[in-house]
A and B are shown apart, each in its own frame.
Chain A
Amino acid sequence: MGRYIGGRVVSMLVTFLIIASLTFFLMKLLPGTPFNNQEKMSESQIQQMNEKYGLNDPVPVQYVTYMTNLFKGDLGVSFQQDGRSVTTIIGERIGPSAYLGFQSLLIGTIFGLLLGIIAALKHNTFLDYGSMIIAVLGISIPSFVIAGMMQYWVGVKWGMLPVAYWEGFEYTIMPTIAIAAAVTATIARFMRTEMLEVLGQDYITTAKAKGLTSTAVVIKHTIRNASIPIITIMGPMVVALMTGTLVIEQIFVIPGLGEKFVSSIMTNDFPIIMGTTLFFSILFIVVILVVDVLYGIVDPRIRLAGGK
Chain B
Amino acid sequence: MSMRQEQLPDLTDDMFQPADIDSSKNEEIAGESTGFWKDAWRRLRKNLGAIIGIVIIVVLSLLAIFGPMMNEYSYHEQDLMRAKLPAKVPGLENVGFLGLNGVDIRGVDQYEAKGVDEYFWFGTDEFGRDQWTRVWQGTRISLFIALAAAFIDFVIGVAYGGISAFYGGRVDNILQRIIEVLVGIPNLILIILFILIFEPGILSIILALAVTGWIGMARIVRGQVLKLKNQEFVLASRTLGASDGRVIGRHLIPNVLGQIIITTMFTIPNAIFFEAFLSFIGLGIRPPEASLGSIINNGFSSLQIYPHLVLYPSIVISLLMIAFNLVGDGLRDAFDPKLRK
Contacts and interface: CB of A to CB of B under 8 A. Distances in A.
A163 B304 contact: yes
Contacts of A14: 181
Contact of B186 (A30, A139, A197, A239): A239
Interface in B66-121: none
A247 B273 CA distance: 12
B179 interface: no
B269 interface: yes
B303 A148 contact: yes
Contacts of B341: 192-193, 196-197
Interface stretch (B167-175, B230-238, B244-252, B276-284): B276-284
A26 B192 CA distance: 11
Interface stretch (B127-135, B143-151, B153-161, B193-201): B193-201
B255 interface: no
Contact of A29 (B181, B188, B197): B197
Given A148-B296, A192-B341, A285-B184, A141 B321 contact: yes
A107 B185 CA distance: 27
Interface of A: 11-12, 14-15, 18-19, 22-23, 26-27, 29-31, 136-137, 139-142, 144-145, 148-149, 151-152, 156, 163, 192-193, 196-197, 239, 242-243, 246-247, 250-251, 261-262, 265-266, 273, 277, 280-281, 284-285, 288
A23 B197 CA distance: 11
A148 B322 contact: no
B29 interface: no
A139 B317 CA distance: 13
Contacts of A140: 269, 318, 321-322, 324-325
B296 A144 contact: yes
A246 B314 contact: no
A128 to B, nearest CB: 10
A140 to B, nearest CB: 4
Contacts of B318: 140-142, 145
Given A140-B269, A140-B321, A196-B341, A145 B197 contact: no
Given A140-B325, A142-B321, 16 more contacts: A15-B181, A23-B193, A29-B197, A140-B322, A144-B296, A148-B303, A152-B304, A156-B304, A243-B277, A261-B281, A265-B196, A277-B189, A277-B193, A280-B186, A281-B185, A281-B186
B317 A142 contact: yes
